[in-house]
Amino acid sequence: MSVIDWLLDGDPAVLTGIALLIGLAAVAQAIAGAGNAVEGGGFLVDLFGARIVFLIAGLGVLLVLLPVMLVLRRAEAAGPEPGPDYPSP
């Protein structure tokens, strides 16, 4: 792991935290994703090739998305949570 990998991975996280606009946060996260790819995916591409790595990444996203969608669907069916009861002035 090089200093460039750390900068591509860490600095965008800070930018996301201080971003006042959603567009800046999105750009910062795109840069962070590139940093993660350089840091973590390079050796996998060397071992398996780019096609297999993309398949693994895509299947991983789908495996995570399935339980998230089930939880969101259950929360949507339950309806909104009641707000706090504030005392009358």
The pLDDT tens digits of the residues spanning 28-51 come to: 778 777 766 666 777 888 899 888
* pTM over 0.85, yes/no: no
In 19-49, alpha helices (H): 22-36, 42-48
Say if residue 68's pLDDT is above 80.
yes
Mean pLDDT of the chain: 77
pLDDT of residue 61: 83
Share of the chain above pLDDT 70, in %: 70
Counts for the chain of helices (H) and strands (E), in that order? 4, 0
What is the crossing angle of helices 22-36 and 3-18, to 10°?
160
Q: Name the band, by pLDDT with cuts 50, 70 and 90, for residue 7.
A: low
